[in-house]
Amino acid sequence: MIKISEDRFKVYEQNYPGITEQILRYEAANLPACPQCGAADTAIVIGALVGRTIHLASATTKVHLTPNGSSQGTYYCNTCKAYFNIPGSERNTEAKTKPIFSRPSDNSWQAYRAWVLSFTAALTGKLADDTYSEDEWKQYAAKFWSTDNNKH
Ligand SMILES: [Zn+2]
């Protein structure tokens, strides 16, 4: 469920270019129901507390942040407040083997692009579309590194 107004989307988008699309992709994600209580109000767990993920989690109930990494579970039930995994699910396996949602490997715009795309791909389960030009990526990367550097 979307938790923010249309006006907030504009503010978020100014601060984190591309975040609207990310929020909508999360929102559209087909998540498993909670195996404990059967509720469909579940979320994907992200173990990275950075500006962008915090804004994602504040925008949709389908994102749950944890400072302890996603080792507690791949999914989170908003109803019984419990983490859970779906054994044998593809996303589950992928989350364990790939260090997604970490940080870009260096401060180049290429690393930033690879990071954002892998982030998106991990959420949607399919390859992300690269809809930005090289210049746009450079701008976003520069903004990311200038605003996010001192928060750790
Ligand atoms: Zn539950």
The alpha helices in the chain, defined as continuous H runs, are 6-15, 19-28, 51-59, 90-97, 109-124, 134-148
Cα-to-centroid distance, 72 and ligand 1 (Å): 15
Ligand 1 centre distance from Cα of residue 81 (Å): 7
The pLDDT, as a whole number, for residue 84 is 92
What's the total number of domains in the chain?
Answer: 2
The tokens for 33 are 């129901």
- CA of residue 84 to ligand 1 center, whole Å: 9
Residues 80 and 133 in one domain: no
> What does the alpha-carbon distance between residue 100 and residue 94 come to, in Å, rounded to a whole number?
9
* C-alpha 34 to ligand 1 mean position (Å): 5
CA dihedral 9, 120, 107, 20 (to 10 degrees): -10
Query: What is the whole-number distance in angstroms between the Cα of residue 57 and the centre of ligand 1?
Result: 18
| pLDDT exceeds 60 at position 151 | no
CA distance 116 to 105: 12
pLDDT higher than threshold 60 for residue 101: no
Same domain, 10 and 76: yes
Q: Give the model's pLDDT for residue 93.
A: 43
Q: Do 90 and 54 share a domain, yes or no? A: yes
- Mean pLDDT of the region 77-88: 90
Q: 115: domain range? A: 102-147
16 and 53 in a single domain? The answer is yes
- Co-location of 137 and 115 in the same domain: yes
pLDDT of residue 53: 92
Largest pairwise CA distance in the chain: 48
Ligand 1 geometric centre to CA of 95 (Å): 21
Residue 127: per-residue pLDDT? 67
